[in-house]
């Protein structure tokens, strides 16, 4: 119940703000901030009450939603979703601080951010396929509006592209969801969209598993975004306002990787293993390609956007290593990318607010006028590169360790991405911060003010915290990762589908399962009559 | 020798009630002046009583008139949809008509008679009765489309509709005669029996009959490639009638189609599913592609409606227990969506200029945020975005079709949904992302506003708590 409350609190806040007078801007802003901070503090309760020893869902609530179809309102958190959930509430609060100075339709902006927050939180807690899909699409609309209303010059193009790309992937996923729903009903006689029930009971033949994998893969790969499905991202990032970019990079992209961990791996273990080399190489291509394209960008935001393609490639690589290091690295890198890239976008936003341009060649010598800004920028940039002692290093190291065990050659190519990252980030830093400026406007820029510190410092603290002492973060997903790996381990799923190929060690287990299934069938038949 | 028909007035109660009210409207019209408000209340009362009489039936199904007329849960659910849509259309007309100078009492009477035709159509299990129903519906609609005698567009709409509709009736009759000639009966059950008794004989004329049937019905529901009339008719007809045409008559024809294909020539496996699937795919694709290019919102909705018929035809193809209930659920949600949109269109209409260009919606969210929000929700619901009713309806239809194993068909439908988002979003883009290029003069009449609110509650309720209606629809399932 508490989890549901925390998930829907931002939505309630948005509804509340709708009734506030439009003239009273500070009241609207303070209400929104209050809701967001309360939500963040409440979400910390889950962290402190989290049971580290079990991979099972916690803080669960399951209630019937649409009885005729077996659709449940089922929410819960486990090690995979806990940190993403908290990061969502955290970044929502930061975003609200970041839009403080926006003048245009601030009331709607705050409402959109809060509705978006509920949509994203819902995605991370939904344990029912129908409900997951509802939230997955629900967050699309506020993000679309944020890009479209408060975005840059080409915002119409970017917002529609964002919407259609995501809708394309997710509608194919919908077909796969309904397909599985029908298959599960055929196999067990029970109509349900409950994810846990389906994951445990469904037995998807290998052929269809590949198709289902592809359908889910497209939905999530577009969201991550993986090369070559990334083309919407630079447009969306460049045109989105700062808060939009932060949420996009910080949370929305994570929904893609989360989807892989929550759906593709446990539901289609065979297909995952089959497709591993392809997905892995696509990720590697994304890493290198993203880095190269970043290098030649002239727009700061576009540079950060392409660096996201590269960094998210690492996360995907970690997931498809299918071992402990890889997936743990992917999970922590998810968080790291959310922190570092969000901070980068905020920093770009800070300088954009002052100069109204993001072109690298317009800048230079910023260290002289904005020394404090430059220091924070340096820290964030280094964390994005993955300097030891900072958060990026922990994630990338684990991922590369994991993928090295799976495929050493792939790991070798992926490692070059780390080097290229250093190139494009440092080169950009040099041009913006040190080189002499041609533009006299740069000489009178003001350094950070209190509001900007308030949104940047928490991120900087996290950068060092995860970099130096990641244990409080890493320990949350230990049990879940172990459980997940056992699911995709080929020795665990093969006997289940092909009983005749089962080796003696697993035969007993398999028999037990089939027995269980026939029982289910009988039960449901008698229910039906 | 022809047996005397068993006349069952109880089964006919809704039809009789509504006809009586239709005549009452006609007669009462003689005694009142130019103000037709009273007729509106009489018509609404009639529709309400019809729904009540239909809903109070028990011990269904009841066959009557020598097995040619059936009252079952399916037809009862249909009556609810029909009376709802006719009621909403009349509410929309209440303010629209005086403004546009349509002060004709027959208008309301024709809507009621059209509804009678729809009820007959949805209850008919005999080819002759089906034809009768279709003609009652069509003839009322021809007149309604052209009710603005002094308006060129309205005239064009009526004439086009009439000529092409007459053609379609011809096709339909020819198909019926072939089926009758082959099976020796016009009764759907009899046809089924005759087909199953036939086994192995050459049935090519029967198949031809089926295909002509699809052509005829295709015209009536505006499915591609027989959809050419619909954008012009939609554009020319008065807005409340456009909304009315988009929902009730189509639902009635689709239900009749469902009955014909599943209880009548259902035994003829494979011969009608493929052509129907082709029509469904063509409808979705041509409807969606056509809609992208439109700048007039009524034409856009006409094309969108063609694509929605495509989705609905998929449900007709599916043969399982979900099929007919998903069809009904979809039609009900579609009713709410269409009437909501048309309510807003009418609200935004100006004196002398209906303000139908999509450009006219620019900047609406700045001036009238609630109106823009409502419109955005209808658009997203039409596109099928959760948690709105359009999504649940699509989920329902897709489930029915996937259960049948038509994965490719559903995949095509889903890709079409992506295309459809493009033009639904176009309206949202105009409302939210662009600045106003004109003065808005919204006309917030209480009855029109009531329609929008009913529709909004409808799409939210069916989207978030669809359970009760799904139960009703499942009860109404034909299998």
Q: What is the pLDDT of residues B76-124, one digit of tens each?
A: 999 999 999 999 999 999 888 888 888 888 899 999 999 999 999 999 9
- What does the alpha-carbon distance between residue A141 and residue B35 come to, in Å, rounded to a whole number? 45
CA dihedral B106, B111, B112, B117 (to 10 degrees): 120
Q: Which residues of A fall within a CB distance of 8 Å from B395?
A: 130, 174, 178
User: Which residues, 6 or more positions from B446, have their beta carbon under 8 angstroms from its beta carbon?
Assistant: none
Residues of B engaging A, defined by a Cβ cutoff of 8 Å: 369, 380, 385-387, 391, 395, 398-399, 402-403, 407, 410-411, 414-415, 417-418, 421-422, 425, 429, 432-433, 466-467, 470-471, 474
pLDDT tens-place string over residues B167-203: 899 999 999 999 898 888 888 888 888 888 877 677 7
Contact call for B421 and A167, based on CB within 8 A: yes
Q: Which residues of B fall within a CB distance of 8 Å from A19?
A: none
Say whether pLDDT at A453 is over 70.
yes
Please say whether the beta carbons of B222 and B230 come within 8 A: yes
The answer to whether residue B3 sits within a structural domain is no
Say whether pLDDT at A497 is over 70.
no
pLDDT at A363: 85
pLDDT tens-place string over residues A282-336: 999 999 999 999 999 999 999 999 999 999 999 999 999 999 999 999 999 999 9
Minimal-distance CA residue of chain B relative to A104 = B366
pLDDT at B366: 87
Q: Which residues of B fall within a CB distance of 8 Å from A108?
A: 369
Contact call for A174 and B466, based on CB within 8 A: no
Q: Which residues of A fall within a CB distance of 8 Å from B425?
A: 144, 160, 163
pLDDT tens-place string over residues A84-128: 999 999 999 999 999 988 888 889 999 999 999 999 999 999 999
pLDDT tens-place string over residues B270-307: 678 888 999 999 999 999 999 999 999 999 999 999 99
pLDDT tens-place string over residues A163-214: 999 999 999 999 999 999 999 998 998 899 999 999 888 888 888 999 999 9
pLDDT at B1: 45
ipTM of the complex: 0.91
| Mean predicted lDDT score pLDDT of chain A | 87
Q: Tell me, what DSSP letter sits at residue A309?
A: H
**Which DSSP helix (H) or strand (E) runs through B320?**
none
Contact call for B466 and A175, based on CB within 8 A: no
- What does the alpha-carbon distance between residue B229 and residue B221 come to, in Å, rounded to a whole number? 11
Chain A: give the shortest CA distance to residue B162, in Å: 39
Q: Which residues of B fall within a CB distance of 8 Å from A138?
A: 386-387
Q: Which residues pair with A194 in a beta bridge?
A: A128
pLDDT at A31: 92
The answer to whether residue B59 sits within a structural domain is yes
pLDDT at B353: 72
Domain that holds residue B57: 13-475
Alpha helices in A469-503 (DSSP H): 471-474, 478-488, 490-497
Chain A: give the shortest CA distance to residue B437, in Å: 17
- What does the alpha-carbon distance between residue A426 and residue A382 come to, in Å, rounded to a whole number? 8
Residue A399: half-sphere exposure toward Cβ, Cα within 13 Å: 34
In which band, very low, low, confident or very high, does the pLDDT at A441 lie, cut at 50, 70 and 90? confident
Q: Which residues of B fall within a CB distance of 8 Å from A130?
A: 395
Chain A: give the shortest CA distance to residue B271, in Å: 26
| Mean predicted lDDT score pLDDT of chain B | 89
Contact call for A68 and B467, based on CB within 8 A: yes
Minimal-distance CA residue of chain A relative to B433 = A149
Q: Which residues pair with A75 in a beta bridge?
A: A61, A126
Chain A: give the shortest CA distance to residue B311, in Å: 14
In this complex, the residue of A65, A149, A171 whose CB is nearest that of residue B433 is A149
pLDDT at B4: 60
- What does the alpha-carbon distance between residue B395 and residue B377 come to, in Å, rounded to a whole number? 18
Domain tally, chain B: 1
Q: What percent of chain A has pLDDT over 70?
A: 93
pLDDT at B150: 85
In degrees, to the nearest 5, what angle opens at C-alpha B79 toward C-alphas B76 and B80? 95
pLDDT at A71: 92
Contact call for A67 and B417, based on CB within 8 A: no
CA dihedral A263, A266, A270, A273 (to 10 degrees): 80
In which band, very low, low, confident or very high, does the pLDDT at A362 lie, cut at 50, 70 and 90? confident
pLDDT at B154: 87
The answer to whether residue B6 sits within a structural domain is no
pLDDT tens-place string over residues B360-412: 888 888 889 899 999 999 999 999 998 899 999 999 999 999 988 889 999 99
Q: Which residues of B fall within a CB distance of 8 Å from A192?
A: none
- What does the alpha-carbon distance between residue A238 and residue A9 come to, in Å, rounded to a whole number? 30
pLDDT at B5: 61
In this complex, the residue of B395, B398, B421 whose CB is nearest that of residue A163 is B421
Chain B: give the shortest CA distance to residue A384, in Å: 34
pLDDT tens-place string over residues A220-236: 999 988 988 999 999 99
In which band, very low, low, confident or very high, does the pLDDT at A509 lie, cut at 50, 70 and 90? very low
pLDDT at B57: 77
pLDDT tens-place string over residues B149-177: 888 888 888 999 999 999 899 999 999 99
Q: What percent of chain A has pLDDT over 90?
A: 60
A-to-B residue pairs, Cβ atoms closer than 8 angstroms: 77
Q: Tell me, what DSSP letter sits at residue B124?
A: B
Q: How many beta carbons lie within 10 A of that of residue A181, not counting itself?
A: 24
């Amino acid at each position: 119940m508490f989890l549901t409350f925390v998930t829907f609190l931002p939505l309630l806040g948005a509804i509340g703000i709708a009734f506030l007078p439009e003239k009273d801007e500070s009241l609207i802003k303070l209400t929104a901030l209050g809701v967001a901070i309360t939500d963040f503090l409440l979400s910390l309760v889950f962290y402190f009450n989290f049971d580290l020893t079990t991979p099972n869902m916690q803080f669960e609530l399951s209630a019937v939603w649409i009885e005729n179809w077996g659709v449940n309102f089922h929410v819960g958190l486990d090690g995979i979703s806990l940190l993403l959930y908290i990061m969502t509430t955290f970044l929502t609060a930061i975003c609200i601080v970041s839009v403080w100075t926006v003048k245009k339709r601030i009331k709607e902006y705050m409402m959109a951010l809060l509705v978006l927050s509920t949509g994203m939180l819902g995605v991370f807690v939904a344990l029912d396929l129908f409900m997951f899909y509802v939230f997955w699409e629900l967050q699309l609309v506020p993000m679309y509006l944020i890009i479209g209303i408060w975005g840059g010059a080409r915002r119409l193009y970017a917002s529609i592209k964002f919407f259609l790309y995501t809708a394309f992937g997710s509608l194919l996923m919908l077909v796969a969801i309904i397909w599985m729903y029908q298959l599960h009903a055929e196999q067990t006689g029970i109509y349900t969209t409950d994810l846990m029930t389906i994951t445990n009971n469904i037995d998807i033949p290998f052929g269809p598993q590949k198709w289902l994998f592809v359908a889910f893969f497209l939905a999530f790969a577009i969201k991550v975004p993986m090369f070559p499905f990334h083309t919407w991202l630079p447009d969306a990032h460049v045109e989105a306002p700062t808060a939009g970019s932060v949420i996009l990079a910080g949370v929305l992209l994570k929904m893609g990787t989360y989807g892989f961990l929550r759906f593709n791996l446990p539901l289609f273990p065979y297909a995952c293993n089959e497709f591993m080399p392809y997905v892995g190489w696509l990720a590697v291509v994304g890493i290198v390609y993203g880095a190269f394209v970043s290098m030649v960008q002239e727009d700061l935001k576009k540079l950060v956007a392409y660096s996201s393609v590269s960094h998210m490639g690492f996360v995907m690589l970690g997931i498809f290593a299918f071992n402990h290091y890889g997936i743990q690295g992917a999970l922590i890198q998810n968080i790291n990318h959310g922190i570092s890239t969000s901070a980068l976008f905020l920093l770009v936003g800070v300088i954009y607010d002052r100069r109204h341009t993001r072109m690298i060649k317009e800048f230079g010598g910023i260290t002289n006028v904005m020394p404090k800004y430059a220091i924070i920028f340096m820290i964030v940039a280094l964390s994005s590169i993955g300097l030891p002692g900072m958060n990026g290093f922990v994630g990338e190291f684990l991922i590369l360790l994991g993928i090295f065990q799976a495929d050493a050659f792939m790991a070798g190519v992926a490692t070059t991405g780390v080097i290229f990252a250093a190139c494009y980030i440092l080169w950009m830093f040099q041009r913006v911060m040190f080189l002499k400026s041609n533009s006299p406007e740069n000489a009178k820029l003001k350094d950070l003010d209190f509001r900007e510190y308030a949104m940047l410092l928490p991120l900087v603290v996290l950068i060092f915290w995860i970099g130096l002492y990641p244990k409080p973060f890493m320990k949350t997903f230990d049990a879940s990762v172990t459980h997940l790996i056992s699911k995709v381990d080929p020795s665990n799923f093969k006997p289940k589908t092909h009983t005749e190929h089962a080796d003696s060690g697993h035969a007993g287990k398999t028999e037990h399962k089939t027995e269980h299934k026939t029982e289910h069938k009988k039960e449901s038949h008698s229910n039906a009559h | 020798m022809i047996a005397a028909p068993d006349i069952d007035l109880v089964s006919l109660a809704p039809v009789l009630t509504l006809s009586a009210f239709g005549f009452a409207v006609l007669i009462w019209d003689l005694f009142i002046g130019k103000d037709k408000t009273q007729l509106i209340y009489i018509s609404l009362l009639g529709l309400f009583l019809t729904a009540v009489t239909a809903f109070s039936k028990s011990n269904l199904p009841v066959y009557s008139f020598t097995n040619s007329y059936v009252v079952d849960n399916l037809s009862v659910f249909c009556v609810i949809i029909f009376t709802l849509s006719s009621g909403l259309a009349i509410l929309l007309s209440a303010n629209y008509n005086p403004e546009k100078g349509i002060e004709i009492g027959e208008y309301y009477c024709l809507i009621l008679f059209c509804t009678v035709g729809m009820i007959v159509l949805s209850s008919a299990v005999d080819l002759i009765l089906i034809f009768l129903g279709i003609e009652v519906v069509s003839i009322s609609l021809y007149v309604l489309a052209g009710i603005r005698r002094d308006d060129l567009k309205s005239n064009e709409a009526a004439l086009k509709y009439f000529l092409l509709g007459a053609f379609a009736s011809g096709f339909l009759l020819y198909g019926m005669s072939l089926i009758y000639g082959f099976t020796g009966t016009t009764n759907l059950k009899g046809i089924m029996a005759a087909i199953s008794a036939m086994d192995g004989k050459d049935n090519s004329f029967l198949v031809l009959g089926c295909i002509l049937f699809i052509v005829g019905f295709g015209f009536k529901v505006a499915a591609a490639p027989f959809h050419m009339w619909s954008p012009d008719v939609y554009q020319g007809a008065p807005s409340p009638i456009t909304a009315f045409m988009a929902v009730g008559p189509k639902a009635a024809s689709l239900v009749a189609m469902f009955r014909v294909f599943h209880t009548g020539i259902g035994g003829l496996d494979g011969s009608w599913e493929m052509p129907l699937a082709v029509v469904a795919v063509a409808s979705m694709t041509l409807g969606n592609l056509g809609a992208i290019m439109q700048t007039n919102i009524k034409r856009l909705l006409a094309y969108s409606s063609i694509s929605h018929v495509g989705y609905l035809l998929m449900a007709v193809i599916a043969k399982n227990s979900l099929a007919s209930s998903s069809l009904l659920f979809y039609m009900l949600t579609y009713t709410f969506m269409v009437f909501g949109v048309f309510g807003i269109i009418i609200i935004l209409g100006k004196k002398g200029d209906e303000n139908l260009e999509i450009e006219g919606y620019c900047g609406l969210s700045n001036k009238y945020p609630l109106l823009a929000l409502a419109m955005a929700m209808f658009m997203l619901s039409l596109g099928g975005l959760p948690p709105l009713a359009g999504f649940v309806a699509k989920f329902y239809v897709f489930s029915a079709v996937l259960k049948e194993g038509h994965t490719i068909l559903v995949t095509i439908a889903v890709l079409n949904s992506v295309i459809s988002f493009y033009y639904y979003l176009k309206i949202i883009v105009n409302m939210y992302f662009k600045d106003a290029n004109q003065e808005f003069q919204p006309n917030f009449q209480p009855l029109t506003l009531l329609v929008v609110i009913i529709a909004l509650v409808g799409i939210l309720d069916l989207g978030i708590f669809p359970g009760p209606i799904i139960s009703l629809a499942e009860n109404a399932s034909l299998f």
